[in-house]
Amino acid sequence: MRVIAGTARRLQLKTIEGKDTRPTTDRIKETLFNILQPELLDCTFLDLFSGSGGIGIEALSRGARRAYFVEQNSKAMECIKDNLKFTRLMDKAELLMTDALSALRRLEGQKAMDMIFMDPPYGQELEQQVLRYLKDSSLADQDTLIIIESSLETSFSFLEQENLPFEVVRYKKYKTNMHVFVERKEG
């Protein structure tokens, strides 16, 4: 796994061994960041379920002003720290070693994030829990883009069923998973 573009371009990133994390492949990461690139410069980026930190590091490398990395696995957090030091991006990062909902509560009251990315473990409905929390949060406003990496089987019908103030604005499907782009509804 490597940084695709920007100041840390071509640098190899560490990943942790085992099946505790599921790193986004370089090809999928490149496709995602080609979509996000116009909005990345000087943005604030929240990387929930960070794993090895590859997504947040890519955002910083491509011009994000600040990235928050949220990961509760201690081995993964050490990996994120090593990767941030290696890419010389540590000064633009804030690390929170906790679960996603605790991290959101800790960050509450800050200005809204420009982008929130999450790649939760599949099949545990963690994306639903995060979106339920963000419904009334200062961290996601009309201009926040939320990107969820999920399995192809994940349904987002809960947004309407629970009358959450979010809507899917785009799906990008790959062979085994997809990125779902969500924004707060107008009005």
Can you spell out the DSSP letters for 94-130?
Answer: EEE-S-HHHHHHHHTTSPPPSEEEE-PPTTS-HHHHH
Question: Looking at residues 139-151, what average pLDDT do you find?
Answer: 96
103: phi then psi, degrees, rounded to nearest 5? -65, -45
3 is a domain residue: no
Q: Which domain holds residue 154?
A: 31-184
- pLDDT tens column, 77-122: 999 999 999 999 999 999 999 999 999 999 999 899 999 999 999 8
Question: How many domains is the chain partitioned into structurally?
Answer: 1
User: Domain containing 102 — which CATH number?
Assistant: 3.40.50.150
Give dist(CA 14, CA 127) in Å, integer: 26
- Report the predicted TM-score, pTM, of the whole model to 2 decimal places: 0.92
Query: Quick check: 81 and 22 in contact, CB under 8 A?
Result: no
93 is a domain residue: yes
